[in-house]
Chain A
Amino acid sequence: MTRPPEMNRPPEDEFRDLVQELRRTAPEPPPIHWGAYRAELRDKLERRQAHTPWAWTWSWKSRPLQIAVATSLVAVLAWVGLPGRQGTDQALLENAILASRLDLIVQLDVVLRLDVLEDFDVISRLDRLTTNEG
Chain B
Amino acid sequence: METLAPSDEALCKRVADRDGRAFDDLVERYQERAYRIAWSIVRDREDAKDCSQEAFIRLHESAGTFAGQAKFSTWFYRILVNCCLDHQRRRRGWRRLLGWGGGGEEGESGDPIERQPAPFVDPTEAVGAERHLSQIWEAVEELSPQQRTAVLLQCREELSTKEIAAVLHLSEATVRVHLHRAYTTLKRRFGEQA
A interface list, Cβ under 8 A from B: 14-15, 18-19, 21-23, 25-30, 32, 34, 37-38, 40-41, 44-45, 48
Contact = CB atoms under 8 A, between A and B. Distances in A.
A22 B24 contact: no
A25 B137 contact: yes
B75 interface: no
B133 interface: yes
Nearest to B37: A29
A26 B137 contact: yes
Contacts of B140: 22
A15 B27 CA distance: 34
Contact of A27 (B27, B133, B151): B133
Contact of A26 (B45, B155, B180): B155
21 contacts: A15-B187, A19-B183, A21-B136, A22-B136, A22-B137, A22-B155, A23-B156, A25-B136, A25-B137, A27-B134, A29-B36, A30-B39, A30-B130, A34-B31, A37-B31, A37-B35, A37-B53, A38-B24, A41-B57, A44-B57, A48-B57
B191 to A, nearest CB: 10
A36 to B, nearest CB: 10
A41 B134 contact: no
The 9 closest A-B pairs by CB, nearest first: A29-B39, A25-B134, A22-B155, A30-B130, A30-B45, A41-B53, A15-B183, A27-B133, A26-B156
Contacts of B36: 28-29
What band does the interface of chain B fall in when counting residues whose beta carbon is under 8 Å from A? 20 to 34
Given A27-B131, A32-B45, 19 more contacts: A15-B187, A18-B183, A18-B186, A19-B155, A19-B183, A22-B140, A22-B156, A25-B137, A27-B134, A28-B36, A29-B40, A37-B31, A37-B53, A38-B27, A40-B53, A41-B56, A41-B57, A44-B53, A48-B61
A38 B57 contact: no
Interface of B: 24, 27-28, 31-32, 35-36, 39-40, 45, 48-49, 53, 56-57, 60-61, 130-134, 136-137, 140, 151, 154-156, 158, 180, 183, 186-187
A103 B158 CA distance: 61
A22 B151 contact: yes
Contacts of B180: 15
B131 to A, nearest CB: 8
A15 to B, nearest CB: 5
A14 B187 CA distance: 8
Q: Which of A14, A41, A45 has the most CB of B within 10 A?
A: A41
Contacts of A28: 36
Contacts of A25: 134, 136-137
Nearest to B128: A30
Given A15-B183, A40-B53, A45-B57, A29 B132 contact: no
Contacts of B60: 45
A19 B154 CA distance: 8
Contacts of B39: 29-30
Contacts of A38: 24, 27-28, 31
